[in-house]
Copies of this chain bind each other. A is one copy, B any other.
């Protein structure tokens, strides 16, 4: 599954993770390489799926999404039907930015972005209506200490 990367590959990825708008020229210059090899590596890494996409990152506060909740879910339900409904709901709701199935005490964690606490309550009510009963803890984020899309390149 993993794609082997050399040092130049990692340097290219590191730059593109910070700024995907860099021109080929700038990347080549920063790495003291020349355009062709840099371009070929970028193309290959795109084809291999190492680079999944290039996206714009928005500031949530600037678009009125000032509230972020983490939802910790413990459930006794583990049958296929329940799970399918849960997955479908989570994937369909744009407020849910991240969802993971966890090992251990907590079964699922959701990260949810909404305009305010009232909007979260609306979301929450409709979630528990759609996928029946939960044991849920919702934690309001008071401060986003760190958020990065840049993965560490080992």
Q: Is A30 an interface residue (CB 8 A)?
A: no
Main SS class of interface, A: mixed
Cα distance A95–B152 in the bound complex, in angstroms: 6
The chain B residue sitting closest to A51, CB to CB, is B56
How many of A's residues come within 8 Å of B, CB to CB?
A: 69
Q: Which of A32-40, A100-108, A125-133 contacts B (4 or more CB under 8 A)?
A: A100-108
**Cβ contact within 8 Å between A52 and B58:** yes
Q: Which 7 residue pairs are nearest across A and B when measured between Cβ atoms? A: A94-B152, A16-B56, A99-B145, A99-B146, A101-B143, A100-B141, A102-B139
- 23 examples of A-B residue contacts, CB within 8 angstroms: A5-B63, A17-B58, A19-B54, A20-B21, A51-B59, A54-B56, A58-B151, A63-B151, A65-B152, A68-B100, A70-B109, A87-B145, A90-B145, A90-B146, A97-B146, A97-B147, A98-B147, A100-B144, A101-B143, A102-B142, A104-B137, A105-B137, A105-B139
